[in-house]
């Protein structure tokens, strides 16, 4: 990965993680700033151009480190939280909501990992029941692991946190960090999956379905229980092709080592959709979804498709492991 | 279009010759143009530079996301006189505002600069000059930051300086970078067209070409524009007689929805 420019907040220039991350990159420009928002937040910048040529911003996250997850967002645990130690990712999915939520496509990494993990510990200790934490919500944790080493540090931390569950959601096949250590029952590598024709059309720069399935199989052979995330399922062809996709997935992996399966439709706040519609005028998927928004087209079709998915998945996995997000 | 914003006549002259620009009738500022490039001589200082940007915008294309370049001479403690830099950070000494121009993939040396309000000769480790902060803030009203760049050529350092009254010396200092200036401008232009393709249909224009506005309600117009946008992600042109200009918005929306199989 080529990063020409790194921006560093003055206050974390001497932080251990900052120095380590910088040492792993062959950069040309190192620019200090007072606050990451000076670069990341201004509104009149172009996400698409930056996506082609992203810079890296290293910063410190103050306050609001961990958030409660939306009410129905769960993989079977009572308490659910998410956190973002990083914004943006290597991949360029046409449906990605980050394009609508953020003004910049630069990679923003909060290097104060210890503050995230301390906050997580406090929440775990406060809650009586098991608490689940979702990572990779606003980024892809595994994809940049070689630079950030965040997952490695988190897993080490969660080894001592029995009442805490960590989900690491990814499309990446960069699984070295998981392969090289003994599996933990409370850390769930979770992979987003879509049929290959959807990956070809909508998930630019991501690993193929086969590569993702191979990564899952490898982890399962190493005794990891893996989450399968059909989220968002992008409907772009006949039902038969989706049925054959589910068959392929569950015939390739070890069904006995599936932690959970989640299903989610494409969903995006209408303000994000409107914004992406402007910055990606050539993106048929977004223009199509935007037209559906403007025309207020059918919603019942989504339920019908969801039922189809549940029917197919439950042929292989117990219904108690399937969650709708 | 690419707009050059230049403080003085002597700094502007090499570019006027390089791009064969012709003087435009303007009673406020000196603006020179050809079909693709404009150059405005603004006078020294960030306020003049900002005024120059706004005047240029309204006297030329008036298009958002055009490319803007501020080129000029600047001082530095130790950089060699004649060296050219793209600016990657601007610090406005008066307001203490920091601005971070987009560092693009063009291969050119870059450095940080301090934008000062009054001329001084106290050299430090950053490039200093007098226009970039006003220039950048004004341009950013009209263009995305990726299309706004500042190029500075070192005119003086702690041991030597050009003679600012010698126009020929200044001309030569700038014109020797003509290849870089041309390539840098082309690079910006290429980035711009890769995003806002020339062939990209203006949906508003297409709508007015195809329909009578009065046949559409406010909502129908919004719907039709959204459908046209979708249509042009699939097709490059609209076949003749698909729509009936005399018919209502509702009728034509139905037509395009059928074509798009919605």
Same domain, yes or no: B171 and B229: no
**Number of domains observed in the structure of chain A:** 1
Same domain, yes or no: B53 and B164: yes
Same domain, yes or no: B141 and B179: yes
Q: pLDDT at residue A297 above 80?
A: no
The pLDDT assigned to A103 comes to 95
The CATH number given to whatever domain includes residue A307 is: 3.80.30.30
**Number of domains observed in the structure of chain B:** 2
The backbone torsions φ and ψ at residue B179, rounded to the nearest 5 degrees and listed phi first, read -65, -45
The pLDDT assigned to A183 comes to 96
Same domain, yes or no: B37 and B141: yes
The pLDDT assigned to A298 comes to 64
Same domain, yes or no: B175 and B216: no
With left for phi above 0 and alpha for psi between -120 and 50, is residue B261 left, alpha or beta? left
The pLDDT assigned to B200 comes to 61
The pLDDT assigned to A21 comes to 97
Q: Which residues of A touch B126 (CB under 8 A)?
A: none
Residues of chain B with pLDDT under 70: 197-201
Same domain, yes or no: B140 and B226: no
Same domain, yes or no: B117 and B161: yes
Same domain, yes or no: B246 and B142: no
The pLDDT assigned to B197 comes to 65
- Select from B162, B178, B195 the last residue of a domain: B195
Burial string for A144-167 (b: 16+ CB within 10 Å, else e) reads bbebbbbbebbbebbeebeebbbb
What is the DSSP pairing of strand A56-59 with strand A5-9? parallel
Interface test with B, best of A50, A291, A296, A298 (most B CBs within 10 A): A291
Same domain, yes or no: B150 and B250: no
**Mean pLDDT across chain A:** 93
E strands along A100-149, which residues?
A: 107-110, 131-135
The answer to whether the CB atoms of B112 and A294 lie below 8 A apart is: no
- The stretch A108-115 carries a mean pLDDT of 98
Size of interface A-B (CB pairs under 8 A): 81
ipTM of this complex: 0.88
The pLDDT assigned to B236 comes to 82
Same domain, yes or no: B227 and B176: no
Instruction: Identify the domain containing residue A201 by its residue range.
Output: 5-324
Burial string for B173-203 (b: 16+ CB within 10 Å, else e) reads bbeebeebbeebbebbbebbeebbeeeebeb
**Which chain A residue is nearest to residue B194, measuring alpha carbons?**
A49
Q: pLDDT at residue A198 above 90?
A: yes
- State how far the Cα of A246 lies from the Cα of A263, in Å rounded to an integer: 12
The pLDDT assigned to B233 comes to 84
Q: Is the peptide bond before B240 cis (omega within 30 degrees of 0)?
A: no
The pLDDT assigned to B81 comes to 97
pLDDT in tens, B18-34: 999 999 987 789 999 99
What proportion of chain B, given as a percentage, has pLDDT over 90? Answer: 72
DSSP secondary structure letter of residue B161: B
Cβ neighbours around A10 below 10 Å, total: 10
* Residue from the list B105, B144, B233 with its beta carbon closest to the beta carbon of A46: B144
Burial class of residue B217, CB neighbours in 10 A (0-12, 13-18, 19+): exposed
List C-alpha distances in Å: B40 to B32, B135, B138: 6, 12, 14
Structure tokens at A261: 């399966």
Contacts of B65 (CB under 8 A, 6+ apart): B142, B143, B144, B147, B192, B196
The pLDDT assigned to A293 comes to 79
Instruction: Identify the domain containing residue B185 by its residue range.
Output: 2-195
Same domain, yes or no: B217 and B244: yes
Same domain, yes or no: B251 and B131: no
* Residue from the list A38, A53, A281 with its beta carbon closest to the beta carbon of B98: A38
The pLDDT assigned to B40 comes to 97
Q: pLDDT at residue A5 above 90?
A: yes
Alpha-carbon torsion, ordered A235, A236, A238, A240, to 10 deg: -60
Q: Measured in whole angstroms, how far is the alpha carbon of residue A80 from the centre of its chain? A: 16
Q: pLDDT at residue A320 above 70?
A: yes
């Amino acid at each position: 990965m080529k990063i020409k420019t790194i921006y560093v907040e003055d206050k974390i220039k001497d932080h251990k993680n900052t120095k380590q991350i910088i040492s792993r990159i062959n950069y040309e420009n190192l620019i200090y700033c007072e606050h990451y928002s000076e670069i990341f937040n201004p509104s009149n910048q172009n996400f698409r151009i930056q996506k082609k040529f992203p810079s890296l911003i290293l910063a410190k996250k103050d306050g609001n480190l961990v958030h409660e997850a939306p009410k129905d967002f769960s993989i079977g645990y009572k308490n659910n939280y998410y956190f973002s130690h990083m914004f943006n990712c290597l991949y360029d999915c046409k449906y990605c909501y980050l394009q609508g939520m953020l003004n910049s496509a630069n990679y923003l990494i909060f290097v104060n990992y210890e503050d995230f993990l301390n906050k997580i510990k406090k929440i775990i200790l406060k809650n009586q029941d098991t608490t689940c934490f979702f990572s990779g919500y606003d980024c892809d944790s595994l994809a940049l692991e070689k630079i950030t080493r965040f997952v490695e540090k988190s897993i080490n931390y969660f080894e001592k946190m029995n009442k805490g569950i960590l989900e690491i959601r990814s499309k990446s096949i960069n699984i070295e960090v998981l392969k090289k250590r003994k599996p933990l029952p409370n850390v769930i590598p979770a992979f987003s999956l879509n049929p290959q024709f959807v990956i070809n059309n909508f998930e630019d720069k991501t690993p193929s379905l086969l590569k993702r399935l191979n990564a899952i199989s490898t982890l399962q052979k190493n005794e990891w229980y893996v989450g399968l995330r059909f989220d968002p399922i992008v409907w772009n062809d006949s039902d038969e092709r989706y049925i054959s996709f589910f068959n392929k997935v569950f015939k390739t992996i070890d069904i006995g080592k599936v932690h959970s399966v989640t299903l989610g439709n494409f969903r995006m706040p209408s303000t994000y959709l409107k914004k992406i519609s402007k910055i990606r005028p050539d993106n048929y998927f977004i223009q199509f979804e935007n037209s559906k928004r403007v025309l207020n087209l059918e919603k019942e079709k989504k339920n019908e498709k969801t039922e189809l998915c549940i029917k197919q998945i439950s042929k292989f996995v117990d219904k108690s492991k399937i969650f709708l997000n | 279009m690419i707009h050059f914003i230049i403080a003085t006549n002597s700094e502007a002259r090499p570019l006027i010759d390089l791009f064969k620009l012709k003087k435009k009738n303007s009673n406020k500022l000196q603006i020179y143009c050809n079909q693709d490039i404009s150059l405005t001589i603004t006078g020294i200082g960030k306020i003049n530079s900002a005024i120059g940007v706004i005047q240029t915008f309204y006297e030329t294309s008036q298009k958002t996301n055009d490319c803007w370049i501020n080129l000029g001479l600047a001082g530095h403690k130790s950089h060699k006189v004649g060296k050219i830099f793209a600016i990657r950070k601007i610090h406005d000494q008066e307001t203490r505002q920091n601005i971070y121009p987009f560092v693009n993939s063009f291969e050119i040396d870059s450095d940080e600069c301090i934008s000062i309000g009054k001329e001084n000769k106290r050299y430090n480790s950053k490039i200093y000059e007098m226009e970039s902060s006003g220039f950048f803030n004004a341009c950013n009203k009209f263009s995305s930051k990726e299309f706004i760049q500042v190029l500075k050529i070192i005119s003086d350092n702690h041991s030597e300086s050009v003679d600012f009254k010698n126009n020929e010396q200044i001309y030569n200092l700038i014109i020797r970078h003509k290849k870089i200036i041309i390539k840098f401008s082309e690079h910006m232009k290429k980035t711009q067209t890769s995003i806002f393709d020339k062939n990209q249909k203006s949906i508003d224009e297409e709508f007015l070409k195809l329909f009578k506005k009065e046949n559409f309600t406010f909502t129908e117009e919004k719907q039709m524009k959204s459908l046209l946008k979708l249509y042009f992600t699939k097709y490059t042109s609209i076949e003749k007689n698909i729509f009936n200009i005399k018919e209502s918005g509702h009728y034509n929306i139905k037509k395009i929805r059928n074509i798009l199989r919605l």
